[in-house]
């Protein structure tokens, strides 16, 4: 049992918090230039901070260095990670579950983060991964028809496959498609819906009386993949644990699920939460696919990438070179530096850049160039891999089947 105090029902006012940060599954706004106060968020949500002892256990059990996302606090919070590691030690199986709401045809670099981490977890633990594409959610929340959302879904699936998932261990499903293929899925949705009242979803998600009923019912659909019997082709009737890597704004869904799962005879889903990927303009908001100026798309050309960073990336540097040399830059708010902590794996290099920028030895233009040189090959390789994905491959990933 975990000893965390779970806030199953959080009113939107509580989520808003007295510090002025706002976080729910649809909006993220921090008050300070350095972004959301994540320690406060952990307290408010009732999750646990990822401490060194957890990282030590990770390393001991897997024999691998923790991923740089873990070492740098990009994945910073969890629920029941120790229980998952206990399972690993006891040779008990678990699976990974994550997802993506396809709201734009092009994904952005921030969307890569949970998937890159999932791939690492999949490789390290050698476990199955299920990826839910919530084309239904985006139809309900955005100005999108069912057909449009389905189209975006397949485009996004290609981007996800291009990240390099092992086809033998990964099932990617569209809600619109899979709901009709597996009656077990719908049955689990109904089992969950039977456990949660309107009052509860109002409290957790802030729904109101004039919200469409699709929104009110949707949380059960995002919850159902936490129950392994939603995937009979993979797990048969076995009730096994699941671990969900996600950005922390998705936590409300799973707080609800953790309340419901034991009542249905399933283990509570475990979670590992990431921080948000900040917008180019600064860490007050997260990168959003619907705002081109704040966003680096996976489809951007090297020229677009360079221009966007040079023009829009919020700088923690000083107004003049003279002042910068004297006072140094502020890595806490500098977006180029922040992005490097996500995408530049070399710890020694990051530390050198931090030192040089803070002292003023490194100028903003030079820092931006390092970021451009780091991101350009990552995006280009992604585009090359994506272009090679065939329809057969896409179909295979999306076919319910036994995973090894």
Candidates 92-100, 287-295, 330-338, 369-377: pick the segment binding ligand TRP (CB under 6 A). 92-100
Cβ-based nearer residue to ligand TRP, 246 or 313: 246
Whether 269 contacts 254, CB under 8 Å: yes
> What is the 3-state composition of the chain as percent helix, strand, coil, each rounded to the nearest 5?
55, 15, 35
Residues 6+ apart with CB under 8 A from 383: 298, 299
Strand runs (DSSP E) across 5-128, as ranges? 22-23, 28-29, 48-49, 75-79, 94-100
Q: Which of residues 113-142 bind ligand TRP (CB under 6 A)?
A: 132, 134, 137
Q: Which residue is nearest to ligand TRP (CB)?
A: 99
Contact 77, 66 (CB under 8 A): no
Q: Report the sign of the C-alpha dihedral through residues 178, 180, 186, 189, in that order.
A: positive
CB of 103 to ligand TRP, least distance (A): 7
Closest distance to ligand TRP from the beta carbon of 230 (Å): 12
Q: Tell me the closest approach of the beta carbon of residue 148 to ligand TRP, in angstroms.
A: 16
Please tell me what DSSP assigns to residue 261. G
Which residue, 149 or 353, has its beta carbon nearer to ligand TRP?
A: 149
- Name which of residues 371 to 400 contact ligand TRP (CB under 6 A): none
CB-nearer residue toward ligand TRP: 250 or 285: 250
Least distance to ligand TRP from the beta carbon of 100, Å? 5
Whole-number Cα distances in Å, 171 to 29, 314, 366: 33, 38, 42
Of 174, 164, 135, 153, residue with least CA distance to 386: 164
Whole-Å CA distances, 89 to 26, 57, 95: 37, 10, 15
**Is position 10 an interface residue for ligand TRP (rule: CB under 6 A)?**
no
Contacts (CB under 6 A) with ligand TRP, residues 223-262: 244, 246, 250
Report the residue number, 137 or 300, with the smaller CB distance to ligand TRP. 137
Among residues 67, 78, 79, 100, the one that binds ligand TRP under rule CB under 6 A: 100
Residue spans of beta strands (DSSP E) within 184-342: 241-247, 270-274, 278-279, 282-286
Would you count residue 101 as binding ligand TRP (CB under 6 A)? Answer: yes
For ligand TRP, the closer CB: 220 or 362: 220
- Indicate the residue among 228 and 250 with the shorter CB distance to ligand TRP: 250
Which listed range, 88-96, 98-106, 160-168, 307-315, lies at the site for ligand TRP (CB under 6 A)? 98-106
Binding mask 264-283 for ligand TRP (x = CB under 6 A): --------------------
Chosen residue from 17, 30, 66, 99 binding ligand TRP by CB under 6 A: 99
Q: Is the dihedral of CA 74, 50, 116, 285 positive or negative?
A: negative
- Packing angle of the helix pair 364-387, 335-343 (nearest 10 deg): 40
- With CA atoms as reference, report the closest residue to 46 among 79, 95, 84, 12: 79
In the chain, the largest separation of any two C-alpha atoms, in whole Å, equals 68
Least distance to ligand TRP, CB of residue 358, Å = 34
Chain positions contacting ligand TRP, by CB under 6 A: 97-101, 132, 134, 137, 222, 244, 246, 250
């Amino acid at each position: 049992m975990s000893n965390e105090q779970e806030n199953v029902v959080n009113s939107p006012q509580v989520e808003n918090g007295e510090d002025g940060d706002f976080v729910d599954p649809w909006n993220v706004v921090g008050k300070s230039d350095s972004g959301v106060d994540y320690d406060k968020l952990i307290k408010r949500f009732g999750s646990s901070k990822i401490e060194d002892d957890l990282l030590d256990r990770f390393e001991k059990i897997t024999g691998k260095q923790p991923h740089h996302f873990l070492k740098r606090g990009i994945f910073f919070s969890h629920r029941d990670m120790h229980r998952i590691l206990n399972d690993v030690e006891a040779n008990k199986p678990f699976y990974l579950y994550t997802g993506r709401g396809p709201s734009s045809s092009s994904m952005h670099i921030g969307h890569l983060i949970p998937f890159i981490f999932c791939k690492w977890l999949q490789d390290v633990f050698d476990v199955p991964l299920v990826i839910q594409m919530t084309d239904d959610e985006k139809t309900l929340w955005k100005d999108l028809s069912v057909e449009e959302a389905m189209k975006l879904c397949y485009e996004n699936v290609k981007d996800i496959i291009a990240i390099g998932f092992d086809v033998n261990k990964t099932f990617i499903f569209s809600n619109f498609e899979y709901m009709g293929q597996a009656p077990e899925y719908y049955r689990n949705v109904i089992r969950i819906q039977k456990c949660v009242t309107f009052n509860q979803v109002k409290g957790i998600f802030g729904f109101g009386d004039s919200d469409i009923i699709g929104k009110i019912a949707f949380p059960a659909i995002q919850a159902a993949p936490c129950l392994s019997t939603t995937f009979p082709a993979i797990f048969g009737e076995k009730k096994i644990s699941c671990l969900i890597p996600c950005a922390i704004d998705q936590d409300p869904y799973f707080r609800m699920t953790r309340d419901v799962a034991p009542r249905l005879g399933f283990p509570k889903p475990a979670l590992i939460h990431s921080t948000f990927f900040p917008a180019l303009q600064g860490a007050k908001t997260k990168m959003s696919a619907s705002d081109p100026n704040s966003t680096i798309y996976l489809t951007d050309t090297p020229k677009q990438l360079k221009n966007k960073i040079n023009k829009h990336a919020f700088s923690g540097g000083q107004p003049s070179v003279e002042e910068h040399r004297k006072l140094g830059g502020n890595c806490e708010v500098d977006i180029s530096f922040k992005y490097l902590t996500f995408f530049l794996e070399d710890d020694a290099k990051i530390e050198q850049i931090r030192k040089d920028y803070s002292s003023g030895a490194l100028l903003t233009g030079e820092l931006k160039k390092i970021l451009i040189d780091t991101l350009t090959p990552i995006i280009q390789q992604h585009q090359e891999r994506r272009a090679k994905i065939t329809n057969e491959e896409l179909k295979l990933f999306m076919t319910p089947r036994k995973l090894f």
